[in-house]
Homo-oligomer: A and B are copies of this chain.
Amino acid sequence: MKKYKAVVKVSLRENILDVQGKTIEHALYSLDFDMMNNVRIGKLITLDIEAQNDGQAEAFVEQAAKKLLSNPVIEDFTIEIIE
């Protein structure tokens, strides 16, 4: 078994309203950061995983991302496996 590090980026789909992002955008405006817009907030999940190879590690993480780490109805995710 080899050890890998996995990075899962979970973000709301483009057409879903990001309420948390809008709130931060308004806070930025009130702090005079009005040159910024279209703020979107996602999750950055890192974890350690043991697997026989990087393909198996990615398959495990993909299952976990679909079942638990993301909500497939409103979120997309990308996976990166690092040795």
Copies of this protein chain in the complex: 2
> Is A47 an interface residue, CB under 8 A from the partner?
yes
B39 touches A42 (CB 8 A): no
Contact with B along A36-57 (1 / 0, CB 8 A): 1111111111111111000000
- Total interface residues in chain A, CB < 8 Å: 35
Given A9-B44, A38-B47, A39-B46, does the pair A24, B60 have CB atoms closer than 8 Å? no
Judged by DSSP, the binding face of A is: strand
Q: Which residue on chain B has the smallest CB distance to residue A46?
A: B40
Measured between alpha carbons, how far is A48 from B38 in the docked complex, in Å? 6
B47 touches A44 (CB 8 A): no
B24 touches A69 (CB 8 A): yes
